[in-house]
Structure 1
Amino acid sequence: MTIQTSLAHIRNTPNTGDFHCTPYDYFYFPEAKVYDLKDKIPKSHAVIYGGGAIEPRLRTDKIHHNVEANFKIAWGIGTSLSRRSTNPELVDDMDLVGRREWGRKGGIYVPCVSCMSELFDKHYEIDKDVIVYAHAVKPGVQEVLEYGYPTLNNRAPFEDVIKALASSELIITNSFHGAYWGTLLNRKVVCIPFSSKFHGYKHTPVITKGASWKQALKEARNYSEALEDARRQNKKFYERVMDLIS
């Protein structure tokens, strides 16, 4: 038996960003089934990998080489190299590659598909000046936490995260998706990076580290066009995918 469309991403995870970054949740695919990257993916007409920082597993580990499919596609994938601001060459042995880093060579730019969530269409009242959205296990925001700002981390439910980020004028975060989602919500974002993945945003937050985050609060800006642009890129990529596999 051949599955029509298999979609694989980091699904067995407490990380809210990783869990909600698959196109399976936002677009229609014929006879689709979703898998975790570690699952055995059955013979398929098309396999779509996405998103998150899974590119090294496709490029270096080549986990897709043992998967039998007529078409292999990557959607909104990225990499994450510790203490670096640049990325290596993109995976190039798939039929279609969408990478989430703006300006990176190879593939097609398509930001994280979580932008398609209806949560971004709701109205939220701003009742805080600053909120901290922390990665549950990565460093960077310890000094900021000492100031007593309202805080949550990237294991909170998606709906709670978006509501909290939208409730603040400014977001301080060391989470890739925290910076991305805050920007989509047209909020000001200060980002404290720990790897290369924070240097590929099209609509760039203020990147800072150490005590300089205090000055960065004055430099952050809004991007009112970010949500519409991200959704447009994903809709265009969906059309490319369907043209390829139909």
Structure 2
Amino acid sequence: MLDFAFVNIKNTPNTGDQVCTPYLYFDFPNAEHFHVDDKVPDCKVAVYGGGAIEPYLRVHRIHDSVNAKKKVSWAIGTSRSGTKDHGELVNDLDICSVRELNREGGDYVPCVSCMSPLFDQKYEVDQEVVFYKHAKKTKDGTLEGLPQMSNRAPFDEVIEFLGRSQTVVTNSFHGVYWATLLGKKVVCIPFSSKFYGFKYPPAYAKWETWERQVQKAVSHTEALEDCRTINAAFYDRVIALHNTVG
């Protein structure tokens, strides 16, 4: 029997989904990593997340078919198009942590990708404003003239690209989050509920108003340390839960 089974949207070109599992950043004994559609073997603790996989649990009930003594979510979120409302939250996990602040029924834990050492590197700022775009939600030619990168680029290249900027315009959840961790000013162009619930919120804009919102954007230099502290504490909590399992 495994001690830990980690489940997230693993098999995807979306960089944020690829790197949002705690399996990549913390030490866990006898652990394996699975995609949401995989058959997960018997385990002591099943850990779901991160990413916007809350509906996989609440609606599709992927955790019902897993024989785990304890079931935990780690910084999960939801994405409901055209609304700020996250909706109901899965309510039958041993510990439910969500990446949205003040969401009833869940403990706030920001995306665990903050633990990456890429955020400790120094980047020379040589770009005033850049556009980090969601590949599936952005039309060709949008914000033409700005330096651009999509959310399917390699993680290290994304963080370097964002790190070299002063201000980031983005319609990507992780674009907002990672730019914030890097201390950048962020202008978000939202399309679903997942963009509402940041502890350190960006400036919000529509496609035609982003330039006006740049002046309203502020940097949050304390965000990285805070997000890491919360994740480290949650790791201790999950290990303690594992240690209660016989």
> Normalization by structure 1: what TM-score?
0.97
Q: CA deviation digits over 1:116-140, x for unaligned, max 9?
A: 000000011100101100000114x
Which SS does the other structure have where 1:190 is aligned?
Answer: strand
AA matched with 1:24: Y
Aligned length: 243
Q: For the aligned residues, what is the CA RMSD?
A: 1.1
Does the alignment pair 1:61 with 2:60? yes
Does the alignment pair 1:213 with 2:210? yes
Q: Give the one of 201, 217, 239 matched to 2:236.
A: 239
Aligned partners of 1:109 and 1:158: how far apart in 2?
24
AA matched with 1:73: V
Query: Could you say which residue in structure 2 is the equivalent of 1:45?
Result: 44
Query: Could you say which residue in structure 2 is the equivalent of 1:20?
Result: 19
Query: Could you say which residue in structure 2 is the equivalent of 1:31?
Result: 30
| Identity level (%) | 51
> Normalization by structure 2: what TM-score?
0.97
Q: CA deviation digits over 1:182-218, x for unaligned, max 9?
A: 0000000000011000001000000111312111011
AA matched with 2:241: L
AA matched with 2:202: P
Which SS does the other structure have where 1:51 is aligned?
Answer: coil
Q: Give the one of 171, 174, 177 matched to 1:177.
A: 174
Unpaired runs of 5+ residues, structure 2, are: none
Q: CA deviation digits over 1:31-64, x for unaligned, max 9?
A: 0000111100001111101100000110111110
Query: Could you say which residue in structure 2 is the equivalent of 1:116?
Result: 115
AA matched with 1:230: C
Does the alignment pair 1:145 with 2:147? no
Which SS does the other structure have where 2:84 is aligned?
Answer: coil
Unpaired runs of 5+ residues, structure 1, are: none
Give 1:79 shift: 0.2
Query: Could you say which residue in structure 2 is the equivalent of 1:165?
Result: 162
Aligned partners of 1:142 and 1:216: how far apart in 2?
22
Aligned partners of 1:142 and 1:12: how far apart in 2?
25
AA matched with 1:81: R
